[in-house]
Structure 1
Amino acid sequence: MNDLENPLYSKVAALLEQARKQVASIVNLTMVHTYFEIGKMIVEEEQQGELRAAYGKKVLKELSFRLKERFGKGFSEQNLRNMRQFFLVYQDRADSIRQKPSSELQSFNPQLVKKQQKPSGKSSAFQLGWSHYLVLMRIENPQERHFYEIESAQTNWSEPQLKRQYHSSLYERLALSRDKDAVLKLAQQGHTVEKPQDILKNPLTLDFLGLGEKISYSETDLEQGIIFKLQEFLLELGKGFLFEARQKRFTFDNEHFFVDLVFYNRLLQCYVLIDLKIEKLTHQDLGQMQMYVNYYDRYERQEFEKPTIGILLCKKKNNNLVELTLPKNANIYATEYSLYLPKKELLQQKLNEWVEELEEENN
């Protein structure tokens, strides 16, 4: 008998699965808060010893030995140092943490992480698992660290996904596609999608396609790689994207046209058309995308939907050409892609220079 033939079994199984997830969430949150308190105790003990390095090492060594003897592995000196570092990085949240019985801890709620200034006593100061915080607490820039914490909670990133997004410099790439106010908002609220420009990243990193190892590749290779790695591509595109079709054909005036990739963004409620270009971007490419967007707006878009967005994904974009070719209100954008992970240091330097220039202009 399958699940459809036994609705009672299906309901009970679903309830048990939900209970398992809630228990796992409570256990993870309890562990994170406990490690924070352990880190706090270690720091306070070190301060009583006047922060002497030799004293600190001796304390951790003895503490590790006795904890492992009673509670088993998991309390190595390195792990205790991680707990100490965890407290030092997030010690501004100490006032918001109140020891509670595990039954009172709230289940995972991504929205609560937005209220990081002074979380209420009713909410958890931490919303992610310990493995996530092992990654986050090593990010030196507080704004960048806060951004990745928010995104991990809201988007439910796994630890490998968090690492990949950090090493692909997601924060810097999003920031370089925005104005100064939007960069501040990015650090405070994460990646919000409210207007077409919010979905842009510069560059879009497609290292997972494996094409960087090839001496040469075609637009078909690029498209095929994206389809083959569609889950990773959707993660790179960002929030709200749904895949509809590749090489989507439409006919106008007895002539066939093909859009490389068609997506729908449920947050913006609009179609997003993507054309892939491995050569130099031309005004003909922009004109073609303008025609694609016009067709979708006039013949595919429903009344409740927003205007169609067109994106030219190219190896090298030319902002002056885009500005000269398209009208100011065109919903069409060119963005670069990279087949390699960008060098984080270079992007950070570029972002810092860009912010400094904006501050000089505003002064």
Structure 2
Amino acid sequence: MTANTSLIKQAVGLLEAARHQAAKQTNSLMVLTYFYLGYLIVEHEQKGQSKATYGASTIKHLSKVLCKRFGNGFSERNLEQIRAFFLIYKNRQKQVAIPQTVSAESAIQYKVQLENPALTAFPLSWSHYVLLCRIKEKNERSFYEIEATHSNWGVRELQRQINSSLFERLVLSKDKKKIQELARKGQIVEKPEDILKTHYILDFLGLEGKSNYTESDLEKAIIDKIEHFLLEMGKGFLFQGRQVRFSFDEENFFVDLVLYNRLLQCFVLIDLKIGKLRHQDIGQMQMYVNYYDRYVKVVHEKPTVGIIICKDKSDAVIEITLPKDNKTIFAKEYKLYLPTKAELKKIIE
């Protein structure tokens, strides 16, 4: 690498990092400003004699003034969203250090806040929070905020995860204590069961309208959309290969998909079945897992996990085929469409 090439590479890296940081700071500043503005609106409303009529009148008048001075971004609808945002997240008032009363010094105090940790109170963009504010249930809203922050989800990915009812699907396999933990910490991956969902939503594959697709079609569609598939699988997944061959007793075997989970530090083998799961399929996966445990994984890695993703399964067949203390082989159904939240909530209840 020449001196000029090195200089250009370092300069580009520096400016891209600075631009990314500036955008992040701008987003945080916008969200913090809207939180403060929501506070001002609510504080002003509470001094009115009739909250309902007075509040509507306040927002209408404020919108007219702000739009005239700052543009159309402060419509009545947007101010209503800003007000709702403050009411939902008002428990962060101390973290943001909003003064208890509105005074002439408020603006000065706000300027000082912009240089302190208050900016970290809202780690996502305003567009993220507009989506989050539509979620009525507090635990669910908290979960999605944590996951979007930790997993660096864009707005589109956050919308998809909400639409696919990720929270409800995880809740189905948790007890009450674990549900509270989801709301406080997000999804924690410490053991194989933590990466599992009740079923996987593969709507992004575009196979819903096809009635005669094969397992090869399913596999190819997954490879074509591997980034989406890894996101659907959950945290920490890396793709290693498809139709990975190993030989044993002079016979070749092929694992449909081989993944690695860096959080669990283990191989995750995926077998795809478009029909009903049979006991032979479970036995085959047991053999795959045994081979990887004995001949592929190294000493510091954890036991291999096998997941059979199938169209239909019988819990009785799985229970009688696998040993009672099984902790590494699982069968999960997939769906090619997004179930409604009402359907999932009904199952949970």
Q: Answer yes or no: is the 8 Å Cα contact 1:26–1:105 preserved in 2.
A: no
Q: Answer yes or no: is the 8 Å Cα contact 1:269–1:306 preserved in 2.
A: yes
Q: How far apart are 1:177 and its partner, in Å? A: 2.3
**Residues 117-165 of structure 1, C-alpha deviations (whole Å, 9 max, x = no match):** xxxxx67321111000000011011000000000000000000100000
Q: Answer yes or no: is the 8 Å Cα contact 1:4–1:10 preserved in 2.
A: no
CA distance in 2, matches of 1:4, 1:219: 52
CA distance in 1, matches of 2:129, 2:46: 24
Report the counterpart of residue 334 of structure 2 in structure 1: 337
Matched, 1:104 2:115: yes
Q: Answer yes or no: is the 8 Å Cα contact 1:3–1:9 preserved in 2.
A: no
Q: How far apart are 1:84 and its partner, in Å? A: 0.4
Matches within 5 A, 1:204-353: 204-330=200-326, 331-351=328-348, 353=349
CA distance in 2, matches of 1:249, 1:4: 45
Report the counterpart of residue 102 of structure 2 in structure 1: none
CA distance in 2, matches of 1:4, 1:215: 59
Q: Answer yes or no: is the 8 Å Cα contact 1:68–1:76 preserved in 2.
A: yes
Q: Answer yes or no: is the 8 Å Cα contact 2:29–2:114 preserved in 1.
A: no
Give the letter for the 1:95 counterpart.
K
Report the counterpart of residue 26 of structure 1 in structure 2: 25
Give the 3 Å change call, closer, same or farther, for CA 206–51 of structure 1 in structure 2.
Answer: farther
Q: How far apart are 1:103 and its partner, in Å? A: 6.0
Deviates more, 1:4-13 or 1:212-221: 4-13
Report the counterpart of residue 168 of structure 2 in structure 1: 172
SS of structure 1 residue aligned to 2:39:
helix
Report the counterpart of residue 104 of structure 2 in structure 1: none
CA distance in 2, matches of 1:274, 1:293: 10
RMSD, aligned CA: 1.7
Report the counterpart of residue 158 of structure 1 in structure 2: 154
Give the letter for the 1:82 counterpart.
Q
SS of structure 2 residue aligned to 1:96:
helix
**Residues 91-118 of structure 1, C-alpha deviations (whole Å, 9 max, x = no match):** 1111221245476245xxxxxxxxxxxx
State percent identity of aligned pairs. 54
Give the letter for the 1:145 counterpart.
R
CA distance in 2, matches of 1:226, 1:3: 42
Superposition TM-score, scaled by structure 2 size: 0.92
CA distance in 1, matches of 2:332, 2:320: 16
Report the counterpart of residue 361 of structure 1 in structure 2: none
Give the letter for the 2:29 counterpart.
T
CA distance in 2, matches of 1:55, 1:181: 43
User: Which 4+ runs in 1 deviate beyond 6 A?
Assistant: none
Q: What is the number of equivalent residue pairs in this alignment?
A: 336
Q: How far apart are 1:292 and its partner, in Å? A: 0.3
CA distance in 1, matches of 2:114, 2:19: 14
CA distance in 2, matches of 1:280, 1:140: 37
CA distance in 1, matches of 2:213, 2:50: 57
Report the counterpart of residue 54 of structure 1 in structure 2: 53
Give the letter for the 1:242 counterpart.
L
Gaps of 5+ in 2: 98-109
Give the 3 Å change call, closer, same or farther, for CA 192–48 of structure 1 in structure 2.
Answer: same
SS of structure 2 residue aligned to 1:214:
coil
Gaps of 5+ in 1: 107-121, 354-363
CA distance in 1, matches of 2:43, 2:281: 63
CA distance in 1, matches of 2:2, 2:128: 35
